[in-house]
Every structure is written in structure tokens, then in C-alpha cells.
Amino acid sequence: MVAAGDNSVSVTVEDHPVVRLDDVTVQFDRQAVLRNLSLEVPQGQTLAVIGESGCGKTVLLKTIIGLIRPSGGHVWFDRYELAKMRKPLLMRIRRRFGFVFQQAALFDSMTIGQNVAFPLRQHGRYSDAEIREIVRDRLAEVGLPESILGKKPAELSGGMRKRVGLARALVLDPELVLYDEPTTGLDPIMADVINELILRSRRQHSVTSIIVTHDMRTARKVADRVVMLYPLSRLGPGESQVLFDGPPSQLDRSTDRRVVQFVRGEAGERLMELRRGSTHRAESGDG
């Protein structure tokens, strides 16, 4: 066993990974989004996946939970290869996942209480009294009062909806929680509230977490490990799609200029590439 993380939260990592990708490629028609990607996420680790738009971060999340089947390679959760599982077993395995969507993805026609209870009712193993208690506990855990149970999502602020989404993701006590841009669209204070709740959920539930984010404050604060992906269209032949894989404290020490520019938010050579592309299109008559 090894201890994971730069952060103050102590996490014990088991010997076998919760998630393993072996040489995974995902391609839509002729366009590859992920290419020969291999990745292991040990139990208890919080992994942040960063990278510019179009590098395949959300596709990676969907591939990990079996919503997208890889064009090549293998995806494992625990000791199960997802692509080889029949749908009933895959659905049971997904009970062990929690997913926090980018825009919370709450059901507009349902109350907050009904939204958070939805996974519990779908799996049908709980009495109404048990559901009410679990829902209240999860909302309290993310700092939301019982008084919002009867409200609709449209009556809540963006930050509150994000917290409801987190409560729903945790309602089945998942072993793996996946976050798709959890702080997008939030002001800095509310973004930090979400970061603190991610840390708290790790302490209280001992979950493994994978967080897709553009927010470097989130990556630095909550992650034990950061992986940076790069768009395939901008890589050279045979070049790895993973530009960085290590603790967040090492990001600023990377010798890869693409990593440094992304972390610092500097347009740098990317702006020059866009200008060259615009000039090429104009000269060829495409612009």
C-alpha cells in the first residue's frame, strides 16, 4: 500500500486499481479522440484530468463508465471489463458509480427531494422512510437545508443546483465518483465551496474520484494526481496524448512548454498557431 496525495487528506491506496485503461482508442467515424491511452487509478485516489477543449476529457469519463465503448483496447472497473459485460450486470456495476454532471443535469419537472431520491427509487431496495432519511442526510452533507426539498431546480441558484447534483451522486454511497467540470459557471467563492465539498466527500466516504476540469484551482486543491491530455490533431506521429502525469505540485516544474502554457493560462504559441491557420486558409481561398 502507498499513501496518495500532496494534500492534507490522508488516503490509503490498495494494490489493485479501481479503474484501468489498457491501450484505449476511441474513434467516431474517421476522427480519433483518444489514442492508445493507458491509465490506472488506484483505490482512494483523486485524479484531475485537465487539458484544453477537444482533447477528449469528457469522452474519457463516458468511456470509463461504459457509456462509450472503445474502438480499441480495454477498460476495467475493479476486476470487470465493461465492454464484455451484459447490460443487466453493467447496470448493477454502475450502482457503484456516482456522476456529477457539468450543469448538474437535474430533472426540471421533479422537486429537489425527488431528484436526489431518483437513484434510490430506480434501484428499488429502500422504503420511503429510508429514502427520506438518506436524502436529508445527503443534502445536509452538502450544506443544503431540508426546506428546499419541495422546490424545483429552477428556483435554486447555480451553486445550489451543483450541490444538489453532488448530493444525488453520493446518495448510493458509490465507490467511484466522476465529476465533469464541477465548478464551471460559478463565481470563485462558490467554486471553492464545491472544492471543499469534494474534499469532504473523500474524507467521509473514502471514494475514488476522477475530476475533469479546466479550473487549475480545483486541480491543485483537490487532486492527488493530475493527468493532462492534448488534442490528437495537434500531436506529432507517435507522440503520447498524455503530456503530464504526476502530483499537482510538479505542474509548474514541467519541462513541456504546452503544460506550462496551459497551467498559466498563456495563449503563447497557441495564438501563433491560430494565426498561421487563418493565414493558410486565406491563401488557399478557404477563408
Q: Where are the domains of the chain?
A: 2-255, 256-287
pLDDT in the model for residue 1: 36
Which residues, in sequence order, are CB contacts of 274 under 8 Å at separation 6+? none
Q: Which residues of the chain have pLDDT under 70?
A: 1-15, 124, 267-287
CB 69 within 8 Å of CB 59: no
**Separation of alpha carbons 185 and 105, rounded Å:** 14
pLDDT in the model for residue 271: 62
pLDDT digits (tens, 9 = 90+) for 4-57: 444 433 344 445 789 999 999 999 988 999 999 999 999 999 999 999 988 999
> Helices 158-170 & 188-205, crossing angle to 10 degrees?
10
3-state helix, strand, coil in the chain (%, to 5): 45, 25, 35
| CATH 1.20.1260.10 describes domain 2-255 | no
Question: What Å distances lie between residue 54 and 58, 69, 154, 231, 234, CA to CA?
Answer: 9, 18, 30, 6, 11
Radius of gyration for the chain, computed over Cα atoms and rounded to the nearest angstrom: 20
pLDDT in the model for residue 285: 53
Which residues, in sequence order, are CB contacts of 30 under 8 Å at separation 6+? none
CB 44 within 8 Å of CB 224: no
pLDDT in the model for residue 89: 83
pLDDT in the model for residue 30: 85
